[in-house]
Amino acid sequence: MKSIWLIGVLVGFSTLTASGQTSGHISFEVATVKPAAPGAPLPGMSPWMMEGLTGRVEETVRFKGGPGTQSPNRINYWGVTLKMLLKRAYNLGLRQIFGPDWLDTQRYDIEAELPAGSDKEALRLMLQNLLAERFQMRLHRETRTLSVYLLTVAKNGPKFNVAKNDPAESFAAVKAANAVRDAAISRDAALSGDDSPRIGFHMDSLSTSQLADQLANYVELPVQDRTQLDGLYSIGLSWTPDDVLFSNPASKGVSIFAALEDQLGLKLQKENAPVDVLVIDHAEKVPTSN
């Protein structure tokens, strides 16, 4: 069975001024922003390999480098939309960003060097300022009532453990639990004839609020934590991507919704709720010169 493992913890998004720029100016040491050539393949990938890439999997391919990676002081973003950049810069879901239609269609290549020692929050601030400067962007934040998923505890209760005090011990516990779970998944998949690829993540210490943020990367709506569970937990999750399920109705793969309830004892329930959103008041299609 194929597996793609994606690991990350998301944090809240930064305060904006009326101009749409961040409260503290921090910038890349060097940055190049230019329109991407239409249909250009990514480095090392042919056009046919790019077909069908969507969502989090596509982002993983198009966004490279930055703090926490093997190239912490450099980023390379290939063929990304402005909405994808705003999502990353402000830590929001795509459906929480409103503006002209071309935010979803125009694509850009970005290469930049970060000051030594920059962390993920600094990268977000640098991206915010870069977008404001190169695209002459003006934006504001407001609250709107939107469709969301509420993360709640399923009927039989949660199926994950409290994080250990020792991160290394906790991470080892997650890996061990994941190994048992994956063995069961592989066994069931073999019996059912399911050979669909899976994606997932495992984290040694996160809150259910952070889990909600993580899940929002993989579903089409924002996710709000309503589990009423406090503390930090060791959590791993594995499922079949939606595009695989949609393209192959006969697939015996498991959706993220079914996996969440089966593996973690949690569920996502669609409701309407107040949500923070980002509204783009103005942005230029062609970035200013480098």
How confident is the model at residue 6, as a pLDDT?
Answer: 45
**pLDDT (tens digit, 9 = 90+) per residue, 203-222?**
888 899 999 988 988 888 89
Extract long-range pairs of 173-180: CB within 8 Å, 24+ residues apart: 173/204, 173/234, 174/202, 174/203, 174/204, 174/234, 174/235, 174/236, 175/202, 177/234, 177/236, 178/202, 178/236, 178/238
Identify whether the C-beta of residue 196 lies closer than 8 Å to the C-beta of residue 240: yes
pLDDT tens-digit map of 275-289: 999 999 999 999 998
Alpha carbons 138 and 243: distance in angstroms, whole number: 34
| Residues 89-115, mean pLDDT to the nearest whole number | 94
The pTM for the full model equals 0.70
Selected residue with higher pLDDT from 46 and 62: 62
Rounded distance between C-alpha atoms, residue 240 and residue 252, angstroms: 9
pLDDT digits (tens, 9 = 90+) for 141-161: 999 999 999 999 999 999 998
Mean pLDDT to the nearest integer, 95-120: 95
